[in-house]
Amino acid sequence: MPRIEIAGVSRRFGTGHAALDGLHLIISIHELLTVVGPSGSGKSTLLRLVAGLDKPDSGTITIDGRDAGALGPQERDAALVFQNQAPFPYLNGRENLAFGAKARHVPLAEVRDRVDSIADFLGLEDCLGRMPATMSGGEKQRLALGRALVRRPSLLLLDEPFSNLDTPLRVYLRAKLAEAHRRFGMTTVLVTHDQEEALAMGDRVAVLNEGRLEQLGRGRDLYDRPANRFVAGFIGNPPMGCLPVDLELRGEAVVLVFPHGGKVEVDSPACAAVLRASGRSSLHLGLRPEHLHLVQDGSLSSGPELSMRVLSVEDRGLDRIARLGRPPEEFWIRLPPGHEPGLDDAVQVHMDLEKASWFDQRNGSRLS
Ligand code: ADP
Ligand code: MG
């Protein structure tokens, strides 16, 4: 199974901003790497370059130390699965599943065994004798994944393969892909715009934005310690809220001055340490929903509080989420059961500053 090294790769189409801009990334042997970013961030461009369908303008991509562009398809041994991948219309399910393996001269008895096993694995038994015209979108997408798995490539490249599926099928296929990856151990790159899918699936997650790598790491680390404000806002749903704050050290305590008035003196070693290390007095304060607690009538809060207005309330089944603040500064909070604030109500919120993220106001990068 290959190791892929992407070194300073740029790719530009026309005169606009670069689709990929000096990207450095190493994909380890057997790894399942997810690549996540908004639409247009360069994800498909990256995958096409790794697949050898396109060449970088500058920089190099090597697969096990060999230039990806110079490798023939056999040597690269990569299977690419993309969104809405059409099966061969004139081949039935079984022939579609067998196609890639046959083309690579896998013995026919072996192909038959693999097709039966993958059809069973993906619940495609009913499709084996049917033509694609009679299959649903979900069956066709499973067929595309199945065709790649029957081939047993050493490198599996997936470009938003589940984006157009309904939620139960998407969840089912994510689990199946994870299981196939554990079973066959192929180096896998899964591209998605869905941060939840990226976190759920990836051994590591690469966050792309405008052709640049914003952060690479385990999903948990991206969530807990986003490298900058972009990652803080992109990873997590609801996202991390951010607010500009002026700070001032007063002995061991820190005074926080909020933009819309309000001042609070806190005894927060974490906050004092960031302030000392950064040497700046104006920072962005980032808080996830679990770092904010509604101060309910009659309950005593110890520590820093902020008064915010309720902008909207969303029912999400397990959680009810309130969006608080004054745009563009917004925070999200999980409402405790039985609490029904109305729109535009003022609420008191307790902040857990020991868990906060702090960002540089000039460039948005993390300071702690
Ligand atoms: P993503 O997959 O993250 O949505 P893409 O890699 O498809 O993003 O595209 C990145 C940028 O490059 C976009 O601005 C897109 O319009 C541009 N781009 C990609 N492929 C081409 C192409 N063949 N010709 C012109 N522009 C392209
Ligand atoms: Mg794309």
Q: Which residues line ligand 1 (CB under 6 A)?
A: 13-14, 19, 37, 39-45
Band of residue 302 on the pLDDT scale cut at 50, 70, 90: low
> Once rounded to an integer, what is the mean pLDDT over residues 168-186?
93
Distance 100 CA to ligand 2 centre (A): 23
Is the model's pLDDT at 271 over the cut of 90? no
Residue nearest to atom 6 of ligand 1 (CA): 42
> Once rounded to an integer, what is the mean pLDDT over residues 164-190?
93
DSSP 175-190: HHHHHHHHHH--EEEE
- What does the pLDDT read at residue 112? 97
Ligand 1 nearest-atom number relative to CA 191: 2
Task: Determine contact, residues 12/31, Cβ cutoff 8 Å.
Answer: no
CA distance 271 to 267: 8
- What does the pLDDT read at residue 157? 96
Is the model's pLDDT at 167 over the cut of 80? yes
Residue nearest to atom 25 of ligand 1 (CA): 13
Q: Which domains does the chain have, with CATH numbers?
A: 4-234 (3.40.50.300), 241-360 (2.40.50.140)
Residue 112: Cβ within 10 Å count? 14
Ligand 1 pocket mutation pick from 21, 44, 84 by most atoms within 8 angstroms of CB: 44
Please state the pTM of the whole predicted model: 0.93
The proportion of the chain whose per-residue pLDDT surpasses 70, expressed as a percent, equals 98
> Once rounded to an integer, what is the mean pLDDT over residues 306-331?
88
Contacts of 271 (CB under 8 A, 6+ apart): 247, 254, 256, 353, 354, 356, 358
Band of residue 299 on the pLDDT scale cut at 50, 70, 90: low
Backbone angles phi, psi at 24, to 5 degrees: -120, 130
Task: Determine contact, residues 113/150, Cβ cutoff 8 Å.
Answer: no
- What does the pLDDT read at residue 71? 82
- Pick the ligand that lies closest to the CA of residue 46: 1
Q: What are residue 248's DSSP bridge partners?
A: 255
Please give the mean pLDDT across all residues of the chain.
91
> Once rounded to an integer, what is the mean pLDDT over residues 45-50?
94
Band of residue 85 on the pLDDT scale cut at 50, 70, 90: confident
- What does the pLDDT read at residue 358? 94
For residue range 10-46, list pLDDT tens digits in order.
999 988 789 999 999 999 999 999 999 999 999 999 9
Residue nearest to atom 11 of ligand 1 (CA): 19
Band of residue 251 on the pLDDT scale cut at 50, 70, 90: confident
Burial (0-12, 13-18, 19+ Cβ within 10 Å), 325: buried
Ligand 1 pocket mutation pick from 9, 13, 35, 160 by most atoms within 8 angstroms of CB: 13
More confident residue, 71 or 104: 104
Helix axes 167-184, 108-121, angle to 10 degrees: 140
What is each CA distance from 290 to 266, 287, 355, 365, in whole angstroms?
A: 19, 8, 9, 22
Task: Name which of 14-23, 67-76, 172-181 the model is least confident about.
Answer: 67-76
Is the model's pLDDT at 278 over the cut of 90? no
Task: Name which of 142-156, 192-206, 273-287 the model is least confident about.
Answer: 273-287
Is the model's pLDDT at 123 over the cut of 80? yes
